[in-house]
Amino acid sequence: MSTESDATRETDGGGQRRELTARLAVPEMDCPSCAGKVDKSLERVEGVADVDLNPTTGTATVTYDRDRTSEADVVAAIEGAGYEVTGGTADDGATESDSSGDGVDVAPPSEVWTSPRAKKTWLGAVFVTLGLGFEFLLTGGNVAVASVLEYPLHVADLLFLGAVAVSGVPVVRSGYYSARNRSLDIDLLMGTAIIAATGIGYFVEAATLAVLFSIAELLEDYAMDRARDSLRELMELSPDEATVMRDGEEVTVDADDVAVGETVVVRPGDKIPLDGTVREGESAVDESPITGESVPVDKSTGDEVYAGTITEGGYLEVEVTSTAGDSTLSRIIEMVQGAQAKRTETEQFVDRFAGYYTPVVVVLAILTAAVPPLLIGDTVTAGVAGYEIAFAGDWGTWFVRGLTLLVIACPCAFVISTPVSVVSGVTSAARNGVLIKGGNYLEAMGEVDAVAVDKTGTLTKGELAVTDVVPCAAPSAANEASGETASQAGGTDEATLLRYAAGLERRSEHPIAAAILARADEADVGDLPEPTGFESLTGRGIRGEIEGETYYAGKPALFEELGFDLSRTRADDPSSDPRTDGGAAPESALAADEGTFAEETLAALEREGKTVVLVGTETDLLGAVAIADEVRPASKRAVERLHDLGVERVVMLTGDNEGTARAIAEQVGVDEYRAELLPDEKVDAVAALQEQYGDVAMVGDGINDAPALATAEVGIAMGAAGTDTALETADIALMGDDIGRLPYLYDLSHTANGVIRQNVWASLAVKALLAVGVPLGLVSVAVAVVVGDMGMSLGVTGNAMRLANVEPDALTTSEGGPDAP
């Protein structure tokens, strides 16, 4: 997609000035404090209009006035904050009509362990190891080789100073940029500590701190790079090239260069490069990159396909309906990247806390270094928790302890604990067909107490289908041998009933007609009769002549008008329900000698919320066809799973009638239902649930659900793939028509909240324990770096990556539900 664009904006003088937007890769900008330094540096560049920094992706998006500054100035400002720009747009000479440069959506993978910083770190580690060897093992060789201000420097000292020079200089340099940008961050604290320790002759501490902190930084870079991998995988789904038909020939071009309306050729095994409509060919298509559904979907002429999906074994010619930058996959990637803009409540709390935590601990570090030597003249022994601890009063001891507290003052581990968890959760969801448009929605979904679910198109498929075919009586062998028609014999079988029903309905445009025709085609009932004299009986049904006789198809009321008595009951058991198994009524439910139904047959169908269409002539009733909006196979299991995961209440909201709502509610297993609701009444229903239960998530698929989706704490849209409105307006979008993703979404969000809490409180607890141990002399500089900084940063990142292991329950998917065929 294009990542550098020209824009115009009116000035006060009525003229125009042009703006460019550059997207740059800044991989070392991996925490909020890093972004703060870059932001402050860019503020000083005249002409910069807007800055969007994303530490989790390692990118900076900067909009600037090209008449007042250049991209080179922008890059210089970022590097002036101490962060290298490794990629992005680089052409500052673009005209107003072109778009150039290779913008980035996430920082490219970096060679962490072979970078210049890594090489300096390894060299410093060698120097420290050799220095410790001379200091403690080869003491005879640790001779004085020089002196500074009458202070002798031994071999070990020179090695430690060498380690400080190669490993500590990058840290001090970053600290200088932090000081220049007035940012009290880890770089400034560590740089200050290294300089101070070196200045007073604590070479071992200075060298150890420089090397260990550099190793910690490399490990954090590696961990963040791993976290960014999930974003890179998402971006790599979109093909870079497309094969286009131009002037009768196939031409391979960049996907960005393909225009709407052009035809692209997709061969077996290829990725579909752009959204479009199939114009020729057939193929099963793996749509899991978009919908998360692993079962391939058959595509043929007229079907929609999406960029990034993969053809399984057929050839397709696809007419492009959107450019590369506007494809469904591109919008998903863009929204996933923008998820960090909507910060969670926990993240906001952590940032506020860090703003107080760091200055307080820095002050404590200063007091620790200065006050005890003034108060403790000689060594003092005190009992602490049953142990005798000696408190020395010399300046050197307390300086080192103050230095250690400076290391602990770094809030990096708990500052990154939330954003790295959000990135892991959001990208994991996107790979499984769920688009979460902000960390705040990820957090909110895990806290919902009740879920409100629309019926049509959500719990049900939203398409009418024939559910039951109930003939009045099967024709006898004698009837069949004599060649009598169904009507002449006074009975029929399912195939013949469907044949006559479909023959009548083929002239109708009603959705019920489409359902009957589809069932007849599926049952392969043979050639359909061609009706003549077709007439629609408004509100009642239809009629037409077939083979010289007038046939009717319509509501039971229509046949009662024709003189049929549909109120008879069964003589053997008038109270029984002949359809307890949910299938077609058994023969015992029919009064075959009368050519009609027992009362309970029609009553049972209608109790289940089905529309009943009777078929027959003025004298003979052939049978009934029941039609309904089918429940999704995964709906029942999804509701059960939500309950298992801890959702207190699942409520169905529908505008449908009471009977249908009750039938669907019983079949799916929701806790309650509310029927015959207008859109504004759905809003009231959601508000009532909020008052009664707490936080509510609303799931729907139609425009009429939009007000209720907006009212709920979390609005979830079904089947958003290819639907611009759903993608733009919903807080969370289930890309496919799979209600089975709803339990996965709740499980992921609930788990993410747990991971975030674990990261935050574990980080604070470790920092607090270390801080308590410092004045007691129980925590060294090395322990503070290895455990408090490096260890916790790696720990929270690794814990966050666990979210990638949360997978949808196979039993709740539309193909694997317990009711699936």
- Catalytic residue ranges: 454
Instruction: Identify the DSSP state of 251.
Output: E
Greatest Cα-to-Cα distance within the chain, rounded to the nearest angstrom: 127
CA atoms within 13 A on the CB side of 514: 7
Q: What share of the chain is helix, strand, coil (3-state, %, to 5)?
A: 50, 20, 30
CB 437 within 8 A of CB 732: yes
Q: What angle do CA 398, 399, 404 make, to 5 degrees?
A: 95
CB 745 within 8 A of CB 369: no
Q: Using DSSP bridges, classify how beta strands 283-286 and 297-299 pair: parallel, antiparallel or unpaired.
A: antiparallel
CB 642 within 8 A of CB 742: yes
Written as six digits, the tokens of 28 are 């070392």
Written as six digits, the tokens of 700 are 């729907």
CB atoms within 10 A of CB 376: 15
CA atoms within 13 A on the CB side of 515: 22
d(CA 92, CA 99): 10
d(CA 269, CA 336): 27
d(CA 145, CA 158): 9
C-alpha separations of 787 from 213, 742, 762, 784 in Å: 11, 39, 12, 6
CB 47 within 8 A of CB 98: no
- For 20, residues 6+ apart whose C-beta sits below 8 A from its C-beta are 4, 5, 6, 7, 63, 64, 66, 71, 89, 92, 94
Give the DSSP per-residue string, 393-418. --HHHHHHHHHHHHHHT--HHHHHHH
Written as six digits, the tokens of 506 are 């083929």
Written as six digits, the tokens of 16 are 């125009």
Among residues 292, 290, 288, 234, which one has the least CA distance to residue 427? Answer: 234
C-alpha separations of 42 from 52, 101, 305, 771 in Å: 11, 21, 42, 35
Written as six digits, the tokens of 574 are 């008038």
C-alpha separations of 116 from 88, 191, 214, 218 in Å: 21, 19, 12, 11
- For 233, residues 6+ apart whose C-beta sits below 8 A from its C-beta are 427, 431
Distance from CA of residue 687 to its chain's centroid?
26
d(CA 618, CA 621): 8
Distance from CA of residue 793 to its chain's centroid?
24
Which residue(s) pair with 715 in the sheet? 698
Residue 581, phi then psi, degrees to nearest 5: -90, 0
